[in-house]
Amino acid sequence: MEQFWHAFIPLFVAFDGVGLLPVYWGLSSRLSPAQRRRAVAESVGTALAVAIGFLFISRFVFQLMGLELADLMVAGGVILIVLCLRELLFSEKPPKGHYSNPGVVPIGVPLLAGPAVLTAVLLVRQRYGWMVTVMALLANMAVIWVILQSAEWLMRRLGREGAEVASKIASLILTAFGVMLVRQGLMAMRGVTG
């Protein structure tokens, strides 16, 4: 059970369900309740399919391209640091434009299943194995589903500012996770452990 929680927490931080609330609400507030439920189901289903697909094809892609996990750790860590610093330092507005199906794009991909989640999925798999990773993914998707289904209620309680504060805290934690990835990736490349 301890391994499950060690796998669940980095994925939970990477998914940033509470931080996604203002963006999700901005994209879905004009939808009917039935359309919102459909968008939530589609976003969770899309994110889960992409994460699990990436989990299973990544090893083949890495072998084909001559990549190692240390390469992904450094690249993923740098991407996380840049994305999170942008989130921490600049106020971003929800994506503009009309999306006929916001559950798939942009909510499912890239907002839920983006670089942070895909990197975290591979690292969790490397440390805890396939089964624990899939279980942690499924549990996270259940939590995200509850958060998004409760978006209207949560936004009234938290407010836009409260959701943004939660997102900033998650981004700070994810930035530290990115630094750790870069450090461990560089150490792995040099053959150092610890």
Q: Bin 32: left if φ > 0, else alpha if -120 < ψ < 50, else beta.
A: beta
Q: What does the alpha-carbon distance between residue 181 and residue 70 come to, in Å, rounded to a whole number?
A: 9
Helix (H, G, I), strand (E, B) or coil at 90: coil
Q: Which pLDDT score is estimated for 193? A: 60
pLDDT of residue 94: 52
Phi, psi torsion values for 75, nearest 5 degrees: -65, -45
What distances in angstroms separate CA 47 from CA 3, 85, 179, one per listed residue?
22, 23, 25
**Residue owning tokens 């990436």:** 54
One-letter identity of residue 170: A
Cα–Cα distances in Å, from 44 out to 77, 137, 138, 147, 191? 24, 11, 10, 11, 38
For the chain (194 residues), the mean pLDDT of every run of 10, in chain order, is 96 89 85 94 97 94 91 86 85 59 88 88 93 98 97 89 83 86 91 68
pLDDT in the model for residue 151: 92
pTM comes to 0.80
> In 16-114, where does DSSP find H-type helix?
17-28, 33-65, 69-89
Maximum CA extent, the chain: 55
Q: What is the pLDDT of residue 66?
A: 95
Measured from the Cβ of residue 40, the count of other Cβ atoms closer than 10 Å reads 22
3-state helix, strand, coil in the chain (%, to 5): 85, 0, 15
DSSP-assigned letter for residue 93:
P
